[in-house]
Structure 1
């Protein structure tokens, strides 16, 4: 089903095929009365996500929830769910200290409101089945993309990824505390008004808490034109954690598994990103981010949990 049909089903008039405002998935900005809304693809457990985000909103978290329309919202088209949210006006994140602190504080607030069990029946994190062949194939693709871009890949990256493959069962058995979380907490999913406002909660899941923190460390600046083209510096990471710590006290058990969690999340979330998109290696900004990520996974000792 094309974008025009989707908009029409929600009751919006679209004479021509709409253009997505996001390059990686369909996100259409349209007028609804005097206000702008966005129509976007969402996950399979959309009703569970909506129940969870309504809870966050009721608790005072700035997060989008579905707009009330004459038509049903959300709706399923063929095998894909779509939802309509209000378009949030505001400033983009640019890496200022206050923005980093407030972003960490918001994630801590979100984690603090998580129930102790998965009562919203969100998707449960279960990615512990990588194998050596997948690492070999991904590394071959990464090296090929990097070579074309004139970049040398540190061979220690492969060693770190293979270490993570061997540790999957250990980290699965570790009994790490889990939280309900948007699980895609990064700068391009926040609008500053001036406090952070979460505009994309659609990847909400039940995840080990330090995995969600590791994802923020590694990919908070990914796919964002205004953000620095690197991961957080160690000082910035400590600032992010100082905001997070306004709401959350991490356990000693989590701190003991932090290094392994960082490597596992790199294996799961970053390896495919580097291997899949050759064009990103030709983008100077994304290339610098990739180099920064490789450096961090090889030597991440300075990125501690406090």
Structure 2
């Protein structure tokens, strides 16, 4: 989609094709008379985008620092071509650097979001339903991972990784039927989606989903430091993980059922989010920081005994 057309659809004039500030999806920073704005692709269809807006406005009305659509003279969001685009305010502040205060405050923010979740999916957000991984997918993904690792001379225990991931596959049906508590959540709660001014401000809620609460926590542990140059190039240390949880549990409790299923939830989210990332994003293997993160993630999934709820 032509970037000029996207900007013009929201009333912004430009003679030059805008450059996306995010490499994997169109995200444009636009200068206004007083403030800057972000125009980005969001959930498809327009009805789903509107449900996302209802959710984020609810969070904002209840004290959560989260972006919501700006008032424009044009429809916001709107469909342009086959995609849905939305205009958010550009939030000024600093990026995450991995301090204990930032980790604690990030955990507290996610806990407050989970606390505000209704008991049922009142916002009709997309429901998580990815419980269909199979052995062939694991074999194919591990083969890609092995090839990429060899190409950059990274030594990983590919046999232990493959063995572990194959063991995870049969657990899916039990997780699906486990009656774990679900929450309405942004479900992309990572450091690159937070701006600190000085408290964390959520700038990308567009993946909002109805999913098991413990899955959201697992995603944080695995990928909170992904895709951010100012973040450490490794996962939380066990001590940092407990700092995050101490902030998180200021607002919400972790149930005994969630503690019981934590290990299986962590392994499942690895299959869903990390295996795909490592197997399909070949360009990440040429990034030394990403390489170190991948190495940490493999060690974690083989032995996560130091990381508990």
Q: Same fold (TM over 0.5)?
A: yes
Write the deviation string for residues 25-81 of structure 1: whole angstroms up to 9, x where unpaired: 110000222100000010121101000000000000000000000011001112211
Residue 222 of structure 2 corresponds to residue 193 of structure 1: no
Q: Hey, what's the Cα distance between the residues in 2 that align with 1:184 and 1:86?
A: 19
Equivalences for 1:265-280 in 2 at 5 Å?
265-280=269-284
Shift of 1:278: 1.6
> TM-score of the superposition, structure 1-length normalised?
0.99
Shift of 1:208: 0.2
Q: Hey, what's the Cα distance between the residues in 2 that align with 1:208 and 1:115?
A: 13
Residue 214 of structure 2 corresponds to residue 210 of structure 1: yes
Residue 40 of structure 2 corresponds to residue 40 of structure 1: yes
Residue 249 of structure 2 corresponds to residue 262 of structure 1: no
Of the structure 1 ranges 139-148 and 151-160, higher mean CA displacement relative to structure 2 is found in 151-160
Shift of 1:152: 2.0
Q: Could you say which residue in structure 1 is the equivalent of 2:300?
A: 296
Residue 250 of structure 2 corresponds to residue 238 of structure 1: no
Equivalences for 1:1-306 in 2 at 5 Å?
1-44=1-44, 45-154=48-157, 155-305=159-309
Of the structure 1 ranges 276-285 and 230-239, higher mean CA displacement relative to structure 2 is found in 276-285
Write the deviation string for residues 85-144 of structure 1: whole angstroms up to 9, x where unpaired: 000000110000000000000000000000000010000000000111111111110100
Shift of 1:153: 2.4
The 3-state SS of whatever aligns with 2:217 is helix
Write the deviation string for residues 130-169 of structure 1: whole angstroms up to 9, x where unpaired: 1111111111101000000101221211112111111100
Deviant stretches of 4+, over 3 Å = none
- Aligned length in residues: 305
Shift of 1:24: 1.1
Write the deviation string for residues 189-208 of structure 1: whole angstroms up to 9, x where unpaired: 00000000000000000010
Of the structure 1 ranges 204-213 and 272-281, higher mean CA displacement relative to structure 2 is found in 272-281
Q: Hey, what's the Cα distance between the residues in 2 that align with 1:156 and 1:260?
A: 17
The 3-state SS of whatever aligns with 1:114 is coil
Q: Hey, what's the Cα distance between the residues in 1 that align with 2:156 and 2:138?
A: 14
Of the structure 1 ranges 277-286 and 108-117, higher mean CA displacement relative to structure 2 is found in 277-286
Q: Hey, what's the Cα distance between the residues in 2 that align with 1:158 and 1:40?
A: 37
> TM-score of the superposition, structure 2-length normalised?
0.98
Q: Hey, what's the Cα distance between the residues in 2 that align with 1:128 and 1:77?
A: 32
The 3-state SS of whatever aligns with 1:247 is coil
Gaps of 5+ in 1: none
Q: Hey, what's the Cα distance between the residues in 2 that align with 1:75 and 1:162?
A: 43
Q: Hey, what's the Cα distance between the residues in 1 that align with 2:155 and 2:136?
A: 22
The 3-state SS of whatever aligns with 1:123 is coil
Q: Hey, what's the Cα distance between the residues in 1 that align with 2:114 and 2:137?
A: 32
Q: Hey, what's the Cα distance between the residues in 1 that align with 2:32 and 2:121?
A: 35
Q: CA RMSD in A?
A: 0.7
Shift of 1:174: 0.5
